[in-house]
Amino acid sequence: MEIKRIFDLLENYKQQFPDKPDVIAGKDNGVWIKFSINQYIEKANNVSYGLMALGVKKGDTIASITFNRPEWNIIDMGIQQIGAIHIPIYPNISDSDYLYILNHAEVKYIFVAGEEMYRRIKHIIQDIPTLKTIYTFRNLHGFEHLNELIEFGKNNKNKKRLDEIKNSLTENDIATIIYTSGTTGTPKGVVLKHKNIISNFTVVSYILPYGPESRALSFLPICHIFERMVNYLFQYRGISIYFAENLGTVMDNIKEVKPQVMTTVPRLLEKIYERILFNGKKLKGIKKIIFYWALNIGQEYNLYKENGWFYELKLSLARKLVFKKWEEALGGIDLMVSGGAALQPRLNRIFWAAGFRILEGYGLSETSPVIAVNTLEPNGCKFGTVGEVIKNTIVKIAPDGEILCKGPCIMDGYFKHPEQTSQVIDQDGWFHTGDIGEFDGTKLKITGRKKEIFKTSFGKYISPQLLENKFKESQYIDNLLVVGENQKFAAAIIAPDFTLLREWCEEQGIVYTTHSEMIRHPEIKKLFEKEIEYYNKFFGDAEQIKRFELVDNEWSVESGDLTATLKLRRTYMSKKYACIIQKLF
């Protein structure tokens, strides 16, 4: 059947894959709870009936604040079937952002996972005048529970009215408003219609070589458009979706579920690789020599057997001796799709060499999200690029290097902000991404963020993102912020990887009591000077990092340094580290 509205996926699934017992699944009290398509549809319909009985109408806004779990899908479909608008919100944003989003969107109902999520917003509830009720997924004393709404809907079933509403909805109706993570200021509400998201997941569906016999693991925030679109894509292809319990259990869940495919972000891949390096360093004698020999082989990997037969022979041996153990640790995953930030080509090479296919893509919330993506087709993938532009979208590079695009995936605009919309969608309909890029043959390559590029006092333009991505190849650098606007040179504030740094200190016999004491040690300073010197060789003299300062903590969403999608919050960090930046120059 033709998918015109996102909730059409349910009937399409029932027609094509009727007998699957695990359309969606989540773990509760150590047990995987699975939902068949009939159970999924029945619960979603009862959510619709319940909301209708409460008086929810087309265009009303309903928010969810939760980590990934099957209930998210159930309420998502239940909300959309009656023409209401789903506002998914990150579970770890600031109080001020919660207050702004919930009021700006005029939210009437909120669904939260449980007590932890409720505690995040309970002190601001009185400041949301449109709010009527909060529902929890877990049955907490004194709170209304999702199952109560489902039971209420079951007792107020009105199939005729629901069918009338569904039939009245079109592809041009609003499906969702997604508030951006706000790297520079107040979150903006990206308005996406059904056709925006549907045009995106249908056009990229051929990329996945899997069907109803396969499983996917979902752990990236489903409130983000990347994971959400892929969630719909999995349902479109009949792939079972298993939701990881949390970020800390991803590796265990992979071993349990044995998924063929999952989405990821570069930061997770970096962490996995760092853990592998950490364990490899503990090896002794010949095992350690073989381990590092295999890593060197992996770093030289090229696609399509371009390195020749002798390299392939060495690679085959490396896979048997070393990389096979990686496969066992990662549960036999065959394919990972990476988005959200630039993936280091070196890291991509090593994972492909180890037998894990990674396809890097590119897009924004405003583009539903995919603009370009690498594929498994012949010559469909190239390291260092984000692949070819998808078939229903047009991309051009502006004279200043900015990536512009047109297509059915482009948002309707920013909610309640026509002036902000006109700043990014010009009169000819081109969406201005804010990213700088170029074409490498037929494939798109991202080289920086337009607003982040700065000029030194000597007139040299520097793309901090480009430098940061390269320097993060160092196993001792967890993250770094490149600064130097209107200064004579570029400098960096570095957050070390303290897990590996502690191991190094132990090997060197360096004694310390705190991270602050550790990073002040002369030998630590020398270690990072060598790392900076090595990676500076990849850049021209005017771009190189001339000075740096170490900080005594890793950056995270909770610390406020990273957005929910793990991007640096540059404006916030520039203020936070103003004294350090002043010292650097």
CB-side neighbour CA atoms (13 Å) of 159: 2
Cα–Cα distance between 516 and 514 in angstroms, integer? 5
Say how many Å lie between the first and final Cα of the chain, rounded. Answer: 63
pLDDT tens per residue across span 41-79: 999 999 999 999 999 999 999 999 999 999 999 999 999
Q: Which CATH architecture has domain 8-169?
A: 3-Layer(aba) Sandwich (3.40)
Contact present, 553 and 559 (Cβ < 8 Å): yes
Element (DSSP H or E) covering residue 336: strand 335-338
pTM to 2 decimal places: 0.89
Residue 369, SS3?
coil
- The single residue listed with the structure tokens 């890793």 is 554
Q: Which two tokens stand for residue 31?
A: 């047990």
Contact present, 47 and 72 (Cβ < 8 Å): no
Q: Where are the beta strands (DSSP E) in 407-536?
A: 413-414, 431-440, 443-449, 454-455, 461-462, 477-483, 490-496
The radius of gyration of the chain's CA atoms, rounded to the nearest angstrom, is 25
Helices (H) and strands (E) in the chain, counts: 22, 26
In the prediction, which pLDDT does 184 show?
53
- Using the CB atoms, write b or e for 521-540: b if 16+ within 10 Å: eeebeebbeebbeebbeebe
Cα–Cα distance between 304 and 323 in angstroms, integer? 19
Q: Which two tokens stand for residue 317?
A: 């041996």
In the prediction, which pLDDT does 211 show?
94
Cα–Cα distance between 301 and 351 in angstroms, integer? 9
3-state SS track over 163-218: HHHHHHCCCCCEEEEEECCCCCCCCCEEEEEHHHHHHHHHHCHHHCCCCCCCEEEE
Domain span(s) for CATH 3.30.300.30 in the chain: 454-584
Q: Give how far Cα 302 sits from Cα of 246, 335, 444, Å.
A: 34, 17, 18
Alpha helices for 283-407 (secondary structure H): 285-299, 309-318, 324-329, 345-353
Length of the chain: 585
Q: What is the DSSP string of 66-111?
A: --S-HHHHHHHHHHHTTT-EEEEE-TT--HHHHHHHHHHTT--EEE
Element (DSSP H or E) covering residue 112: strand 109-112
Q: Which two tokens stand for residue 423?
A: 């700043």
For residue 369, is the peptide bond before it cis, meaning its omega torsion is within 30 degrees of 0?
A: yes
In the prediction, which pLDDT does 449 show?
86
Domain span(s) for CATH 3.40.50.12780 in the chain: 8-169
Q: What residues in the chain have per-residue pLDDT under 70?
A: 140-142, 181-185
Cα–Cα distance between 461 and 467 in angstroms, integer? 12
Q: Residue 170 contacts by C-beta under 8 Å, 6 or more apart in sequence?
A: 4, 5, 194
Cα–Cα distance between 169 and 54 in angstroms, integer? 20
Cβ-count burial of 6 within 10 angstroms (0-12 exposed, 13-18 middle, 19+ buried)? Answer: buried
Cα–Cα distance between 191 and 193 in angstroms, integer? 7
Contact present, 85 and 79 (Cβ < 8 Å): yes
Q: Which two tokens stand for residue 468?
A: 């940061």
Residue type, 266: P
Cβ-count burial of 578 within 10 angstroms (0-12 exposed, 13-18 middle, 19+ buried)? Answer: exposed
Contact present, 214 and 251 (Cβ < 8 Å): no
> What's the fold here for domain 454-584?
GMP Synthetase; Chain A, domain 3 (3.30.300)
In the prediction, which pLDDT does 167 show?
97
Give the strands of the sheet with 388-389, arranged side by side: 31-35, 24-28, 240-243, 215-218, 261-264, 335-338, 357-363, 370-373, 388-389
Cα–Cα distance between 136 and 121 in angstroms, integer? 13
Cβ-count burial of 338 within 10 angstroms (0-12 exposed, 13-18 middle, 19+ buried)? Answer: buried
